[in-house]
Amino acid sequence: MGKRHQSSSSNEQESPLVQCAGLILPWLQPIELSSISSTCKALNDIARAITVTRISDASHLSESFAIPFINTVDDTPYAYFLYTPIQTLALQDPLQARQHWGSEPSARPGFEPGPAVEGACGCECPERCGGGGWGFLGCPCWGRVDSGEVTRECGPSCACGSGCGNRVTLKGVSVKLKVVRDRRKGWGLHADDFIPYGQFVCEYAGELLTTKEARRRQQAYDELALGGRFSSALLVVREHLPSGNICIRINIDATRIGNVARFINHSCDGGNLSTVLRGTLLATYGTFPHELKNFMLSGW
């Protein structure tokens, strides 16, 4: 009787691998997660829970709103990539990089202004910020010049607090979005609520590349695209002087590392988003729920 009880207790004890699986499995890529889920029921249950969490939020729980994957056309549950809410320096080998994705934290990260930049000048309006008479942003620093082509925001060196309404682009995705699978276009970013004209949507985040590295990667991406079922998210923004000469070139690669802006489709007949320096995207007209987000390169 005692031996049978001891054997039963031993069977109920989980192996060290299963006990640590909740910490290890979120680091795995989809094909690795699928392989390990077939080894035993306990790991299968953990892998399934991780997959459900990944489907529920493409932002890896890094944004204020969950951005779910929705697929009714095939059996691809989600798109795997490393998430960054801001632009980041290029990695030596992004294919080997990994990121924890699949476990639920106690709370989503809040916004806190970054450290002040030495020598930079900022505003001094903490008492007036948020008061009446300053428009919907509630900050006297708010202002747009050149008919909306240039946007000015409070930065880390400003005296405003985290509640300042003039820190829109620093707070990440500001509207409800979803990533929807299309039979022809693949994954695409859609509005999940009405987005008014001029509303900041998101920054185009990814790896900041040199022009030499951007050209090398584009050549590699073109070769991969020849086989089909591959689409890169390498964005090149050129700012021109009035004379027509190139003033500045920004190369942002969100193919392996980026945010949800990587799912925005390109439209040749005019999009519903426009970009400003630093790769931010704003609505060019009111966008209704379920509408696909597009941008037009010639508008930049």
Q: Which of 185, 291, 277 is nearest to 229 (CA)?
A: 185
pLDDT at 1: 46
Q: pLDDT tens-digit profile of 257-268?
A: 999 999 988 665
Is a pLDDT exceeding 50 seen at residue 144? no
pLDDT at 287: 54
Q: pLDDT tens-digit profile of 72-86?
A: 999 999 999 999 998
In sequence order, the β-bridge partners of residue 246 are: 240
Query: What DSSP state is assigned to residue 188?
Result: E
| SS3 at position 197 | coil
pLDDT at 155: 73
Is a pLDDT exceeding 70 seen at residue 228? yes
Which amino acid, residue 265?
Answer: N
In sequence order, the β-bridge partners of residue 280 are: 203, 276
Question: Domain map of the chain by residue range?
Answer: 2-50, 60-111+172-299, 114-170
| SS3 at position 258 | strand
Report if pTM > 0.95: no
Helices (runs of H) and strands (runs of E) counted in the chain: 5, 15
| SS3 at position 43 | helix
Higher pLDDT, 263 or 17: 263
pLDDT at 213: 95
Is a pLDDT exceeding 80 seen at residue 192? yes
Residue 55 phi, psi dihedral angles, 5° rounding: -65, -35
User: What dotted CATH number matches 60-111+172-299?
Assistant: 2.170.270.10
CB 62 within 8 A of CB 85: yes
Lowest mean pLDDT among 91-100, 116-125, 168-177, 219-228: 116-125
pLDDT at 51: 96
Query: What DSSP state is assigned to residue 116?
Result: P
In sequence order, the β-bridge partners of residue 282 are: 200, 274
CB 180 within 8 A of CB 289: no
Confidence of residue 174 (pLDDT cuts 50, 70, 90): confident
Q: Transcribe 45-72 into DSSP letters.
A: HHHHHHHHHHHH-TTTT-SSS---EE-S
Q: Report the mean per-residue pLDDT for the chain.
A: 77
Longest CA span, the chain: 92
Q: Which of 250, 245, 238, 151 is nearest to 198 (CA)?
A: 151
